[in-house]
Every structure is written in structure tokens, then in C-alpha cells.
Amino acid sequence: MRDYLANLNLSSLILVGIATVAGFYFGRLAKVARQPSLVGYMLLGVLLGPSVLGLFPEPLTEQLAFITEIALGFVAFSIGAELNLASLRRLGYGIISIILAESFMAFLLVTAALFLWTRDWPLALIFGAMAPASAPAGTVAVIQEYRAKGSLTQALYAVVGFDDGLAIIIFGFAAALAKNLLLREAVQGGESLFAALGGPAKEIGLSILVGGVAGFIFCQLVRRLTESRDVFIILFGTVLLVTGLSNRWHLSLILTNMVVGFVLVNTRNAGVVRRVTAPLLEVMPLLFILFFFLAGSHLQLAALPALGATGIIYALARSSGLLSGAYLGAVIGRAEQKIRRYLGLGILSQAGVAIGLSLIVKQEFGQLAETYDLPHAAIIGASVLTTITATSILFEIVGPILTKVALSKAGEIPPPARGSK
């Protein structure tokens, strides 16, 4: 069957059409099973991907990567458009304390747990640096599917929007320290921590700058448009432009597009914001089908047996760090009770950013191993990539389910949506 499907030589357009239609019905089946639709989209991706039927081989999924980038761009814009400063002020400084606490607690617990297991500081630091990165698409998809509203929903938008920026900073620091420790094994001088941190700081600063400029121009272009379809054309072009510039200049795609939405919601009146965001409710479900289908097709089930003790420790320590850190940050920030109890459940998803960082580790530590004859560095790079890929399968399935549980328990899913599960 697998060989027969592989020999059909169907065009990419035919395959994307199949994925869209079949994804729609798999999403319906997931809802019948009282799960978020995106679980169905991902399972279909796994079924048609290289791990099972092979209808979507790896070269094709790489060829369709631009769809993933476009979807992430719209997700990031949607997050930014929810970050109204007036609403954030009502949530208080608790949001800042939550972001700091959950990110650093995940980093510290994973680092400590893996050091106790492996007695390998460079490896423990790199795994710790992977832990804070989240996957905002899963959280946003669940929020939009169930039309959740309330203070927990607002807090989730803020946390998943901003914690990736902090994750990049933590990664820059931890990777620099790990490299220095490895280079000392080879009796070589390492790059200073401050110099190594320059790259992440530059990436975040330029992302905010480009997003701010693009947001200002976008607001000027749409302020006099009255038709939603005209507004969406400009929005679509802006997201593509900003996403393309982010790739070209090696900026954070998520942060840059998020700033565009942030500028819109905090500089334009409610009518303009409504005209911009209304079409997204119609378009985002299609983007989510394609995004999570492709995410599922990238998941290699063969990687699961390689999870091992390191992967299990990483998954448990990361989950514990995010849950306890979110609770601690909410308590320190005097957030309301439902945010304290349930926010941690909504931020466990992990995929794109973490896998991207693990690819960077694989490449840079591989070069380090070749340049300085450090097999230890090559082992770390391979271990991180394999483990993060395997654990992402778990987090991408469990994370959205727990997000739905959190929103339901907090009473922020309207009764019609709850009844239609």
C-alpha cells in the first residue's frame, strides 16, 4: 500500500487538496471524540506522512514549508491584536511575573534534572535552554475554535506571545556558556558570554523595530478602507512581506508579526481593529488545518523509541517547571484564582521554535566538534535534536488537549461551543 501510494506521483496541489478536505473531516471526528480539531489534523498528517503511508514524503513537506510560515505569521498577528495595553493593565504586572517565572523555572528544573542524571553540564544547559520555548499556534487554535473569552484567555495570549522572546534570550546565554565549557575541554579560549548574547539581543531588537515600522505603515494603509475584503488583502500582503523579511534577515517571525498586531490594536480605534480581525475568523480555520496537518506529517514516529530516559526526564521536568512557574508567577503577581490554577495547563505545547533551536544546536555543535576535535559536542547536538523531536510529538498532542481542559474549568468556553464538542 505504501509503495503504491508513493508511486502515484500526485502533484503537490492535488495532495494539498486531499489534506484540506480530509483534514476537515478528521477535525470533525476529533470533536466527536471531545478533543480539539487540531488533534485530528495532526493525526491525519501522521497517517499520510512518511511515518505511515508515505503519501506526503519528506521532500514534499519541506517544499510546503512556506504554508507553515504563513500560518505562523497570521497566528502571531492574531496574538498581537489581542494584546491591548488597557486589557493588559487590568491583568496587572502578574503577566510579567508569570512569563519570567514559568520560563526560568522550566530552564532551571530541566537543567538541574538532566545534570543529576547525566553529570554533563553542557548537555544539561542546552536541554534547559529548550524548555521555555512554546508553540503558540496550538494554544491560539484551541482558543479560537472554542471562542474562549475571559481573563485566562487574555493571559494565555500574552504569555505564549512573549515567552518565546525570553526563550531566545535564555537560549543565547545557555548556549554561550555550554560552548565555553566545551572549549575548555579542548583547552581553547571561548567566546565571551556578552559577545554570544549579542546575536539574540540583535534578533529581538530588530524584530521589534521591523514589526513596529510595518505595523505603522499597515495602520496608515487600512485606516480609510471600509470593506473587509479590501482590508484583508492589505493584511495578507503585510503578513507575507513581514514573514519574508524575517526569514531574509534572520529575525523572529513570531515576534515581528506579533508587533504588527500589537501596533494595530493600541493605535487604532475599535472599528478599524474589528474590520481587520473579522476576516481572520473565516481564514484561520483553513490555515490551522494545513499548519497542523504539516506539523503531523513532520512527526517521525520512529523517533519515539529513541526517547529514552533523557527524553522522559526532559518532558517531566519541563512540564513541572512550566506548571509550577506559572503558578508561582501568578501568586507573586496577585493574579486571580483561575489564572493561578489553570494557566500552566495552557502553555505546554512545544514544536517549531524548540525544533528550530535544536537544529541550530546540531549545526553549531557539529561545527564545534569538527573544528576543535570535540566528539562530546557532536554527541550533544545529535542527542538534543533527537530528543526534542520526539518530545514535541507528545507536547503537540497533549498540550492543546490540556489547553481546552484549562479553558473549560475556568468557565471561559461559551456554552454553545462546549455543547458542540
SS (H, E, C) 91-112: HCCHHHHHHHHHHHHHHHHHHH
What amino acid occupies position 292? F
Cα-only R_g, the chain: 21
Mean pLDDT of 161-181: 78
Stronger pLDDT, 182 or 114, i.e. the higher one: 114
CB atoms within 10 A of CB 44: 26
pLDDT digit string (tens) for 100-138? 999 999 999 999 999 999 899 999 999 998 899 887 878
Residue 115 domain-assigned (yes or no):
yes
Nearest one of 168, 110, 175 to 365, comparing CA atoms: 175
Residue 421 domain-assigned (yes or no):
no
Residue 178 domain-assigned (yes or no):
yes
The residue segments making up the domain with residue 91 are: 2-409
pLDDT band at 91 (very low <50, low <70, confident <90, very high): low
Residue 400 domain-assigned (yes or no):
yes
**What CATH number does residue 316 fall under?**
1.20.1530.20
Stronger pLDDT, 33 or 265, i.e. the higher one: 265
pLDDT band at 392 (very low <50, low <70, confident <90, very high): confident
Q: Which three cell numbers stand for residue 80?
A: 498581537
Pairwise CA distance, residues 194 & 191, whole Å: 8
The confidence score (pLDDT) of residue 40 equals 84
pLDDT band at 188 (very low <50, low <70, confident <90, very high): low
Pairwise CA distance, residues 227 & 217, whole Å: 18
| 3-state class (DSSP) for residue 135 | coil
Residues 6+ apart with CB under 8 A from 58: 50
pLDDT band at 194 (very low <50, low <70, confident <90, very high): low
Number of domains in the chain: 1
pTM for the model: 0.71
Residue 61 domain-assigned (yes or no):
yes
| 3-state class (DSSP) for residue 226 | coil
Residue 415 domain-assigned (yes or no):
no
Percent of the chain having pLDDT more than 70?
88
